[in-house]
Amino acid sequence: MNERKRAPVARDFMASPVVTVERRKNLPDVDRVMQAENLSALVVVDEEGSPVGVVSRSDLVQRAAAASSRQSWSLSLPEEMQAEEIMTKELVTADVSTPLDQVARTMAKRRIHRVIITRDGRPEGVVATKDVMRAIVEAELDVRLGEVMSDALMYVRPEEEMSVVVGRLAAAHVQGLVVKKDDWPVGLVTGGEVLVAQHWPATTAVEDWMSPRLLTLPKDMFLHRAAAGALALDVRHVLVMDELGCCGLVTGIDFARAYAKAAS
């Protein structure tokens, strides 16, 4: 990591203000706020505006999968269910002055994609994995993709039905499934695609609603260049390739882990 005058702290890279949702908001409304703000999670607040939890896109996907079946016409979020019923009540927080590498280390250790940043105990902002990726670009971190990737990939076929794929995504507790055809990645399925397509027939083939936006890079690519490419394309996953094809995946948590390790 290149030298700099001062090690970055949380306030240098946090997004502010914090986007919140009232704890009694129903799930379709929570989904609409997430999509409008282009966020993967929202802080849940009570009537006084105090934070009481976090609801993520993964929470919504798991709820949509649980509320649907192969016999149902579509996947859907139950309108009678409220944010407080599915939120994670434990808030992971850090002060605005916390070194960014400590925030990244918390993400990697807890396997979470965001940390709430506070000032005097009140929410001030959020540091997400994409913010750590920005720090990696700025620091020109020269670790290779092959050093930080995970080789535990999960694949689905383009013709598989939505209900099957969503169930697999929810059960596996992974960030995404790689859509593979003729031994080549052609798309990605994450919680975002599931929620956008939630009102489509559950028998819809995955190729009709997957994301075709893929960033595939060689395993010897420097991490800071991969992070820059991912940020430019607004993707959170990088498919890593070798001479035989797809060999690994780098997620936001992998970026955070690499940043924390480089600073230690």
Q: pLDDT of 1-45, one tens digit each?
A: 555 468 999 999 999 999 999 999 999 999 999 989 988 889 999
Provide mean pLDDT across the span 86-111: 95
Residues in the chain: 264
pLDDT at 193: 79
pLDDT at 53: 93
**What is the DSSP code (8-state) at residue 142?**
-
pLDDT at 190: 82
pLDDT band at 86 (very low <50, low <70, confident <90, very high): very high
Distance CA 239, CA 192 (A): 18
**What is the DSSP code (8-state) at residue 25?**
-
Burial class (CB in 10 A: 0-12, 13-18, 19+), 211: middle
The answer to whether 172 and 181 have CB atoms below 8 angstroms apart is no
pLDDT band at 66 (very low <50, low <70, confident <90, very high): low
Domain 145-252 of CATH type 3.40.50.300: no
List the chain domain ranges: 10-139, 145-252
pLDDT at 73: 39
Burial class (CB in 10 A: 0-12, 13-18, 19+), 86: buried
Q: 219 in helix, strand or coil?
A: coil
- Looking at the chain, the whole-number percentage of residues with pLDDT higher than 70 is 92
Name which residue leads in pLDDT, 120 or 228: 228
Name which residue leads in pLDDT, 136 or 191: 136
Predicted confidence (pLDDT) per residue in 179-207, tens digit: 999 888 999 888 777 777 767 788 889 99
pLDDT at 91: 87
Q: Is pLDDT at 69 greater than 80 in this prediction?
A: no
- Looking at the chain, the whole-number percentage of residues with pLDDT higher than 90 is 56
The answer to whether 236 and 153 have CB atoms below 8 angstroms apart is no
Most confident of the ranges 90-99, 163-172, 189-198, 243-252:
90-99
pLDDT band at 70 (very low <50, low <70, confident <90, very high): very low
* Pair of tokens at residue 207: 């190729």
pLDDT at 51: 87
Q: Is pLDDT at 68 greater than 70 in this prediction?
A: no
Residue whose pair of structure tokens reads 């016999």 in the numeric block: 71
Q: Is pLDDT at 71 greater than 50 in this prediction?
A: no
Q: Is pLDDT at 253 greater than 70 in this prediction?
A: yes
pLDDT at 179: 94
pLDDT band at 75 (very low <50, low <70, confident <90, very high): low
* Pair of tokens at residue 31: 């989904």
> Does this chain's domain 10-139 share its CATH topology with 145-252?
yes
Q: What angle do CA 194, 252, 45 make, to 5 degrees?
A: 65
Residue whose pair of structure tokens reads 């399925």 in the numeric block: 189
Architecture of domain 10-139: Roll (3.10)
Distance CA 26, CA 29 (A): 6
Q: How far is CA 148 from the centre of its chain?
A: 17
Beta bridge partners of 228: none
Provide mean pLDDT across the span 214-232: 96
Least confident of 27-31, 69-73, 136-140: 69-73
Q: What angle do CA 134, 40, 148 make, to 5 degrees?
A: 45
The answer to whether 202 and 72 have CB atoms below 8 angstroms apart is yes
